Amino acid sequence: MSVRVGKTDRASSFPVAAKAALRNDQLRRNVRNATDIIRAKRALRIDEMPDWEQLRQAASDIKMHTLAHLDYYLEQFERNCEQAGGKVHWARDADEANTIAAALIKQYSGDQPAEVIKVKTMTSDEIQMNVALEHAGIRAYETDLADMIVQMSSDEPSHIVVPALHKNRFEVREIFREQMGLVDLGDQPADLTDAARSYLREKFLRIKIGISGANFAIAETGSVCVVESEGNGRMCVTMPNVLISLIGIEKVIPTFQDLEVFLQLLPRSATGERMNPYNSFWAGVEPGDGPTAFHIILLDNGRTALLKDERERETLDCIRCGACLNACPVYRETGGHAYGSIYSGPIGAILSPQLQSLEHSRSLPYASTLCGACYEVCPVKINIPEILIHLRGKIVREEQATLRGSLSAECLAMRAMGTIFLSHRRYESAQRLARLGQKIFERNGQLTNLPGLAGAWTEFRDLRPLPKQSFRDWWKTRVEAAVSSEEAS
């Protein structure tokens, strides 16, 4: 099985990619501006909700319940969907899903040019569907405004909900000018949106095959729910003759009623709206309304590997709202590309390394200060800091199992510290040694250029040297003084 999460094979480790991102002032300004706006809107909407915490708890409970019975709900969903006229396919990994999708598109296109319209689906980015379709000679048009900007500029999404938030209006204008041949295009967001509308209208009315993801797959009804704002989702699921929906197996929820929880949490968390403009629900096919053929591809792509451990399983609760990205002080500095995966920010830092085992994603669980802002805003209460710590543990255990890893500077230092802390006498000796050792690095009463791992500290910050007397030295002196004064009296 080959599990892929976007174009991760050529990504650098997080610290390296982050360093490059930090040098891009325009990108950082754009990211900061966008996340500031969404955060403020979200805060406003959540203040209106006296039962927010109860909703979060219910969402977490429903998700954990569903995952504990995932086989049951997937089979129920499949049965109901097929009864309504849909056809359910299962895909173990990215390649299998892409092969199924390409074969269906070819089959339905017949001798016509193979073209599809797509509504934003992170899952299709995860499996690099557009690349696979292109290889199969199929032209895919992204129809979400941000996804279209990303596609037209051969870029990568940098945010789960607002994939082009790293681009400002002027950058978008240049992309549209070039790709749509609009010389006189203005740079107001309204001008750019209008251009996208006219460009896509023709495609919505002409192209006969649509591809969607799903925000929720409802087991009880066999129906699929797509949450969106622009109307491109409604277009893609309504206008074509054939609809293919790619759905990660964790997207299933038990009942229609359960939406009363998720549809209150998702829009407020994602965009700070009380409700997003459109939610579409459909089960199978309906004569006289919309596609006459409906296919679902249920995708594993590494998800089942997360089920066994309950801590890891929590990762699959994610409803892709992006609130953790907006809240994360690390994401806000670097933007999404530094994470080397289409899943960025705190959720990406736990999801990518679990779905895949590529070298670079090992740096992701360390791309966090464990400040807890992500957990605080997560609408389904995923305890991201705890999962990060759990994954760090896994990585360290793997490292320690290799000779090179067990002899790394970090590993040796940690082991030495562990031994030192086991005896207060050793610890006191180490304190004395450090005080002696630091002398050669002292400049004007500060440590400003330390060697080894500590050099990363003094590259950016000063450090006050260890004082002559530790707290315990002070304490001992005090106790001795007390004893001698007692003896004297």
Partner 1 sequence: MRIALFVACYNDTLFPETGIAVTRVLERLGHTIEFPIEQTCCGQMHHNTGYQKDAVPLVRRFVSIFRDAEIVCVPSASCVAMIREHYELIAQQEHDPDFAREVRNLLPRIFEFSELLVERLGVDDVGATFPHSVTYHPSCHSLRMLNVGDGPYRLLRQVRKLELVDLPNQDQCCGFGGTFAIKNADVSAAMLSEKNREVLETGAAVITALDNSCLMQIYGGLHRQGSSVRAMHLAEILSSSEVDR
Partner 2 sequence: MSLPLTAREEILARIRAALPDLKVPVETSHASITRSYGRCSSLDRGGCLQLFIDRLIDYDTKVIELTDETELPAAVQQALQDAGEDRLLVPSGPLQTLAPENVNVYVDHGLTTPELDRAQAVLTTCEAAVASTGTIFLVHGGDQGRRALTLLPDHHICIVCRDQVYGSLPEALAAIRSQSARLITSISGPSATSDIEMVRIRGVHGPRRLTVLLYGDL
Minimum distance from residue 69 beta carbon to partner 1 (Å): 25
> Scanning residues 209 to 268, which ones bind partner 2 (CB under 8 A)?
218, 220-223, 229-232, 234-235, 238-239, 249, 254-257, 259-261, 263-264
Residue 330 touches partner 1, criterion: CB under 8 A: yes
Q: How many residues bind partner 2 (CB under 8 A)?
A: 96
Q: What is the Cα–Cα distance from 483 to 489, expressed in whole angstroms? A: 10
Between residues 344 and 368, which has the closer beta carbon with respect to partner 2?
Answer: 344
List the one residue from 130, 334, 341, 344 that touches partner 1 (CB under 8 A).
Answer: 334
Q: Which stretch binds partner 1 (CB under 8 A): 3-11, 198-206, 253-261, 361-369?
A: 361-369
Contact string (CB under 8 A) for partner 2, positions 65-94, x = contact:
x--xxxxxxxx----x---x----xxxx--
List the one residue from 192, 328, 330, 391 that touches partner 2 (CB under 8 A).
Answer: 192
Q: Which stretch binds partner 1 (CB under 8 A): 131-139, 175-183, 246-254, 325-333?
A: 325-333
Residue 394 touches partner 2, criterion: CB under 8 A: no
SS3 sequence of the chain:
CCCCCCCHHHCCCHHHHHHHHHCCHHHHHHHHHHHHHHHHHHHHHHHCCCCHHHHHHHHHHHHHHHHHCHHHHHHHHHHHHHHCCEEEEEECCHHHHHHHHHHHHHHHHCCCCCEEEECCCHHHHHCCHHHHHHHCCCEEEECCHHHHHHHHCCCCCCCCCCCCCCCCHHHHHHHHHHHHCCCCCCCCHHHHHHHHHHHHHHHHHHCCEEEECCCEEECCCCEEEEEECCCHHHHHHHCCCEEEEEEEHHHEECCCCCHHHHHHHHHHHHCCCCCCCEEEEEECCECCECCCEEEEEEECCCHHHHCCCHHHHHHHHCCCCCHHHHHCHHHHHHCCHHHCCCCCHHHHHHHHHHHCCCHHHHHHHHCCCCCCHHHHHCCCCCCHHHHHHHHHHHHHHHHHCCHHHHCCHHHHHHHHHHHHCCCHHHHHHHHHHHHHHHHHHEECCEECCCCHHHHHHHCCCCECCCCCCCHHHHHHHHHHHHHHHHHHC
**Cα–Cα distances in Å, from 383 out to 321, 375, 405?**
15, 5, 28
Residue 129 touches partner 2, criterion: CB under 8 A: no
Give backbone dihedrals phi and psi of 51, rounded to 5 degrees, phi first.
-105, 25
List the one residue from 204, 216, 331, 343 that touches partner 2 (CB under 8 A).
Answer: 204
List the one residue from 393, 412, 437, 483 that touches partner 1 (CB under 8 A).
Answer: 393
Residue 101 touches partner 2, criterion: CB under 8 A: no
Minimum distance from residue 75 beta carbon to partner 1 (Å): 34
Contact string (CB under 8 A) for partner 2, positions 454-473, x = contact:
--------------------
Between residues 146 and 323, which has the closer beta carbon with respect to partner 2?
Answer: 146
Give yes or no for a contact between 322 and 37, defined as CB atoms under 8 angstroms apart: no
> Scanning residues 64 to 103, which ones bind partner 1 (CB under 8 A)?
none
Residue 376 touches partner 1, criterion: CB under 8 A: yes
Identify the residue whose tokens are 């290799």. 402
> Scanning residues 10 to 69, which ones bind partner 2 (CB under 8 A)?
30, 33-34, 37-38, 50-51, 54-55, 57-58, 61-62, 65, 68-69
Residue 443 touches partner 1, criterion: CB under 8 A: no
Between residues 254 and 372, which has the closer beta carbon with respect to partner 1?
Answer: 372
Between residues 286 and 398, which has the closer beta carbon with respect to partner 2?
Answer: 286
List the one residue from 123, 124, 130, 143 that touches partner 2 (CB under 8 A).
Answer: 143
Between residues 85 and 405, which has the closer beta carbon with respect to partner 2?
Answer: 85
> Scanning residues 6 to 45, which ones bind partner 1 (CB under 8 A)?
14-15, 18-19, 22
Q: Which stretch binds partner 1 (CB under 8 A): 59-67, 91-99, 134-142, 411-419?
A: 411-419
Give yes or no for a contact between 207 and 115, defined as CB atoms under 8 angstroms apart: yes
Which residues bind to partner 1, rule: CB under 8 A? 14-15, 18-19, 22, 329-330, 333-334, 365-373, 375-376, 386, 389, 391-397, 414-415, 417-418, 420-424, 427, 431, 434, 446, 448, 453-454, 456-457, 459-464, 466-467, 469-476
